[in-house]
Amino acid sequence: MTEDIGPILHNWEYLPNDINVRIIDGLDGKQKLQMRLDLGLLQMELDGRPDGQRPHKFDTYLSYFEHKAKKSKSKKKFVLTAMDCLKLQQEAIQYYHRYLGLMKLGDFARVARDTLRNLRVFDFVAKYAENDELKWSFEQYRPYVIMMYTRAVASMSLEKENYDEALDFIKNGMEKIEDYYNKYADREISDERYELGFLKQWAEEIKEKKPLSERERLSLELEQAIQMERYEQAAILRDKLKFLNQKESNEHK
């Protein structure tokens, strides 16, 4: 069996302006995520740590260090060294590559899982890293990961055609990102705030596609009837809105 991956790369064209990913069946019977790069490819597990490793017999370095932190509470204070943070950072990059590929494939549940996991890493490092420089090396990426998590959960809502829920997720994500920028207002952070701009534009697009509710439709028709001086029709529409209000009020009792 040859170890040359040339034939694989030859049969899978690399598109430089796209995220080139696919799902393949592994020799172990489990599906794998492959990402095509300019000089080769990455292959990742769909679940667990992307490279399938178990550092110190734990699922991840994060779970290993969380265990150490919990054990140290009754002894000396737990601190993450620069080397510890490097291991966590390298591991987080693996998850980044995976959720980037999963987003492209529309596996939003796994994207939400992996982004939440990396946000947990940021929180853990912020609590235990030995200096602020190490903390910032993770914290600087928080807005992007919040945006990706928001995209994932909102997309799951859109798949169910639950537009209001999707917009609520986007609003919540934007508020968290705004809180972040307010918290670090004294730092030299780009004024572009790409994440906020993306979510705001996406929310506007969703609002345009969102079907009108019965209340919204009746209210719009009423407004149009009044503008066109169709008062008899307006009276009928007012009665329908009143009935709808009474119906909803009774349902909430």
Q: Residue 206 pLDDT more than 70?
A: yes
Full residue range of the structural domain in which residue 231 is found: 214-251
On whether residue 8 sits in a domain, the answer given is no
User: What phi, psi does 44 have (nearest 5°)?
Assistant: -130, 150
In a domain? residue 50:
yes
User: Do 130 and 247 belong together in one domain?
Assistant: no
Based on the domain organization, do 141 and 221 belong to the same domain?
no
pLDDT at 149 over 90: yes
Residues 205 and 227 occupy one common structural domain:
no
Place of tokens 């918290």: 183
Asked if the structure places residue 180 within a domain, the reply is yes
Q: What pTM does this model have?
A: 0.84
* 7 alpha carbon, distance to own chain's centre: 34
**Within this chain, do residues 178 and 53 fall inside the same structural domain, yes or no?**
yes
Residue 158 lies in a domain: yes
- Say if 26 falls within a structural domain: no
**Is residue 15 in some structural domain?**
no
Per-residue pLDDT band at 192 (split at 50, 70, 90): confident
Asked if 128 and 97 sit in the same domain, the reply is: yes
Structure tokens at 47: 């679940």
Which has the minimum average pLDDT: 109-113, 169-173, 210-214, 228-232? 210-214
Q: Is residue 60 part of a domain?
A: yes
Same domain, 205 and 102: yes
